[in-house]
Structure 1
């Protein structure tokens, strides 16, 4: 297995909130003064309705991956979130999750607002054309099937939520389905 492939099943999980679900950190960037990463990519299950953890001076992007509907009340404004549709919002305001149709799995990005930006684009995969993935970019398989090739090596099958880290060599990811291409970048 390539070092640029993060197997979702191999990543340890931890509880988040007050028992609201489990989270797995897929990748993280340089730490700031508190020792907290300047950016982070994670996947989390939301098992019950309740508040999200606040992260001061942080911007978030959440993408529902599994489950039918997630209602997020972000600082008094309700957002009905359907699968594969990203929502950007401040991480330091009150956020309340409701689960009208049951448990939901989400992909989350966190970026320290003064130092880093983040972008998430959900793309349809192709069997012929791979998305370009440079440094500090990640592809997370959200739906369907795909294979990743690194440095001209044999293709490796991806499972759902497996993550391919970009590099100067730009790994190739081909298949059918949908993936999130996540980019982190320093702010000048």
Structure 2
């Protein structure tokens, strides 16, 4: 299990310089923005402007917190205002973004080639072991205590993420008064 904390120093400028991003995971681990097979990050949308283009990349954005954003494509507009809502689009597309009533955070998943990502909002605090599959869990809101059989427990706060190795058996306990919302990601080939 590897924890990725939401730390102020972990935010970097977008590829086009128009916003901030925090990388959670990339595969292969030595990849950069031009040669990854998949990449997971959180984008902070604070002002109106274009999204970075990533040629030949499939993208998915999911609202993590805030009031949302309007995404303007050349042929359609999509507004995300509810936690867990997602949009899929090609990284080749021009995309202009307008935050709705203040800043918001979106989970940004990018895949290349035959790589695919399953993205689910976890309905409860159970995460059964998955045979041979790495997972990424992102905490959208709330707090949760994560307990792995052979390791010390870990407290996750909003926008923290954890990379979970195959066959890991985890238990989670709610911490605080806000029910946690967890996003689970698994990767594979189509």
TM range, normalised to the smaller chain?
0.7 to 0.9
**TM-score relative to the length of structure 1:** 0.85
Kept in 2, the 8 Å contact 1:119–1:183? The answer is yes
Q: Specify every segment of 5 or more residues in structure 1 that has no aligned partner in the other structure, as ranges.
A: none
Structure 2: how far apart are the matches of 1:136 and 1:10? 27
For residues 33 and 142 of structure 1, what CA distance do their matches in structure 2 show?
26
Cα RMSD for the two superposed structures: 2.4
Unaligned ranges ≥5, structure 2: none
Q: How does the TM-score come out when normalised to structure 2?
A: 0.84
Residue 185 in 1 paired to residue 182 in 2? no
2:57 paired with 1:58 = yes
Partner residue in 2 for 1:172: 170
2:67 corresponds in structure 1 to 68
The 1-side partners of 2:106 and 2:135 are apart by 18
Shift of 1:110: 0.4
Deviation sequence 1:88-114 (CA, Å, 0-9, x none)? 1111111111123121111100001x2
Indicate how the Cα distance of structure 1 residues 143 and 173 shifts in structure 2: closer, same or farther if over 3 A, else same.
Answer: farther
User: Number of matched residues?
Assistant: 182
| Cα pair distance change 1:70/1:173, threshold 3 Å | farther
**Counterpart residue number, 1:93:** 93
Q: Which runs of 4+ in 1 moved over 3 A?
A: 31-35, 131-136
The partner residue of 1:23 within 21, 24, 41 is 21
- Would you say the 8 A contact 2:61–2:106 is kept in 1? yes
